[in-house]
Amino acid sequence: MSLLLGDVELDQNDLFRDRWARWFRWQEFGALIKPYLDGNTANEIVDFAQALRMPFAHVFNSAQLLENVHLKERGFFQEIDHPETGKLKYTGNVFKADCMAAPVQQRPPLLGEHNEAILVGELGYARNDLVLLRGQGVI
């Protein structure tokens, strides 16, 4: 970490040698690393840390994920029309390969939308059971 921050003498500081020291003296630790964090962008920090072979990666918020160039290029987010919310972006396939078929664009189901198909069609309930379950607030 001291190499990343550009001060090898930090290796002698308890805050960089003992995680409990960092835990209890977090404000002091924060004050030590704040100038480095303020003086570099997230990309600069991650790129430099990765060049040093440190396990660093970005942690994106939702807006940053939607604007991520790599995810846009891959077509990771798919715009799907939902009957209650209108058009929204949903995640697509997690991975892609040449042999895969085109991604299925399917919206999330509405609450209870597939109850009958699952309970009657797959689990063997009678249709009359659905009336009882609805009456009892189960489905």
pLDDT tens-digit readout, 53-91: 999 999 999 999 999 999 999 888 988 888 898 998 888
The continuous run of DSSP H or E covering 82 comes out as: strand 77-82
Q: By three-state DSSP, how is residue 78 classified?
A: strand
Percent of the chain with pLDDT over 70: 93
Q: How high is the mean pLDDT in each 10-residue block of the chain (139 residues)?
A: 87 93 96 95 95 93 93 89 89 72 73 92 93 91
Question: pLDDT value at position 139?
Answer: 87
The model's pTM = 0.54
- Tokens 């042999």 belong to residue: 99
Residue 5 phi, psi dihedral angles, 5° rounding = -80, -10
Which residues lie below 8 Å from residue 15, measured CB to CB, with a gap of 6+? 21, 22, 25, 28, 29, 32
Question: pLDDT value at position 104?
Answer: 61
Instruction: Count other Cβ atoms within 10 Å, centred on residue 80.
Output: 16
Q: Give the start-to-end residue ranges of the domains of the chain.
A: 2-51, 60-103, 109-139
